[in-house]
């Protein structure tokens, strides 16, 4: 299905675009927090501690 942007008007799409950006930024923050948490857990693993010596 092809949606013509002019059908909705550019002004009407701006709030949708802003909402999508907010969602993506929120997902990036969640992902970054998960990666940091995982890195912290892995850094405590005995094998990782052996590699630090």
In tens, the pLDDT along 14-49 reads 888 899 999 999 999 999 999 999 999 998 888 877
Q: Which residue has the tokens 């501690």?
A: 49
Domain membership of residue 19 (yes or no) is: yes
Domain membership of residue 30 (yes or no) is: yes
Give yes or no for residue 9 having a pLDDT over 80.
no
Domain membership of residue 5 (yes or no) is: no
Determine the pLDDT at residue 40.
93
Domain membership of residue 26 (yes or no) is: yes
Nearest partner of 27 among 40, 14, 19, judged by Cα = 19
* Residue with the larger pLDDT of the pair 12 and 53: 12
Domain membership of residue 33 (yes or no) is: yes
How far is residue 5's CA from residue 2's CA, in Å, rounded to a whole number?
A: 9
Determine the pLDDT at residue 10.
61
* Residue with the larger pLDDT of the pair 1 and 36: 36
Number of domains making up the chain: 1
For residue 28, give its domain range: 10-52
Domain membership of residue 3 (yes or no) is: no
* Residue with the larger pLDDT of the pair 11 and 37: 37
Q: In this structure, are residues 29 and 37 in contact, taking their beta carbons and an 8 Å threshold? A: no
How far is residue 18's CA from residue 44's CA, in Å, rounded to a whole number?
A: 40
């Amino acid at each position: 299905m092809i949606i013509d942007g002019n059908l909705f008007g550019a002004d009407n799409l701006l709030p949708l675009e802003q909402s999508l950006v907010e969602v993506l930024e929120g997902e990036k923050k969640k992902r970054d927090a998960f990666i940091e948490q995982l890195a912290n857990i892995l850094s405590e693993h005995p094998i990782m501690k052996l590699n630090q010596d």
